Homo-oligomer: A and B are copies of this chain.
Amino acid sequence: MNQLRTTGTVKIVGAGLLGTSIGLALRQAGADVVLADQSKASVALAVDYGAGRAATANDEPALIVVCVPPDQVAEMVERELAASPRAIVTDVASVKGEILESLRAAGVPLQNYVGSHPMAGRERGGAISGRADLFFTMPWVLAIHEGANPAAVAAVEALALDLGATPIRTTPEAHDRAVALVSHVPQLVSSLLAGRLVGAEASDLALAGAGLRDTTRIAASDPKLWLQIFAANSGEVASILKKLSRDLVEAVSALDNLDAPGSLAKLGELMAAGNAGVAAIPGKHGARNASYSQLIVLIDDKPGELARLLTEIGEIGINLEDLKLEHSPGAQIGLVELYVLPKVEVALAEALVARGWRLAG
């Protein structure tokens, strides 16, 4: 078990998805958690879920985690720092620079504050979507400003570790630049791309494949939340979008003048840069790991077949690293994609075929 690092009472302000998830995880780990929210119903729900107890005027929190909507964070951090002068205060907003500026402009002493940003979320919000494992293995960014007390940094890092997250130390400026590139720009581009589908013929959209689905999935995100994020990080986002806009104009110009010298070379350059860019993304979270080998098994599409396959893989004694089920409604067979370590791929394939399973390819 992961021994608790956080000491004292933790107060969570804002019992939405993130606040409730933090409370659930801390309670599971044995911490004392109190919950506050301007909505009494949200607090009651989060308490019912097991995310902590309702905050009272007598609490003396050692750590306060502000989980309110982005445009209310600065004000709430200021209020909590004033109300609990000895407590460490953090927040979980997606953009850090603007909050820090607001606090500084208001003359708030900030040695006990450290902004943070857990890189985790779900498409659905609210206490009801809270999950104790939401932060498990995900990056948790500490955006450390000049003047932050090292003890405050340590307390927030302890919180991240208690939640199973991977703490990453950086500055508010570097954080905002990074998330503009890896999160905010992809969001806006995905939204613009999906927006181009509005008004398209249904028969055209019927040809949509995995490429369109993947590139537009996050376009389903909540505009209200994202407007706050874009507004808070508009400079960094606009700066990258301007470069992207230039690339786009060059691509259009090349397509419009295919016979002109250099047009195809320009398109080729842009495509090759795309290859290089995607290759530069590290790690695995949320993606199939290319370092696993894939086996595809065809199974009858009926209850029990997948269980029978996995039972036999268990008997063979090989651990699956990942698994994906491709199920086509109305079809008689399904495809099961098994991901295993390369060194056991051949052994698993042979054992499955020997047991009568059909492998694709």
Contact = CB atoms under 8 A, between A and B. Distances in A.
A216 interface: yes
Given A219-B278, A248-B248, A207 B179 contact: yes
A216 B318 contact: no
Interface residues of A, number: 133
Interface in A230-265: 230-231, 234-235, 237-238, 240-245, 247-249, 251-252, 255-256, 258, 264
A290 B128 CA distance: 18
A183 to B, nearest CB: 6
Contact of A205 (B182, B201, B212): B182
Interface in A68-114: none
Interface string A182-211: 110111111111111110111111111111
Contacts of A130: 361
Closest A-B pairs by Cβ, 3 of them: A210-B286, A191-B274, A195-B273
A76 to B, nearest CB: 22
A342 to B, nearest CB: 14
A356 interface: no
A278 B194 contact: yes
Contacts of A150: none
B296 A307 contact: no
11 contacts: A131-B361, A181-B200, A198-B276, A219-B275, A223-B274, A302-B319, A303-B313, A303-B314, A303-B317, A303-B320, A320-B327
Contact of A227 (B137, B271, B276, B328): B271
A178 B192 contact: no
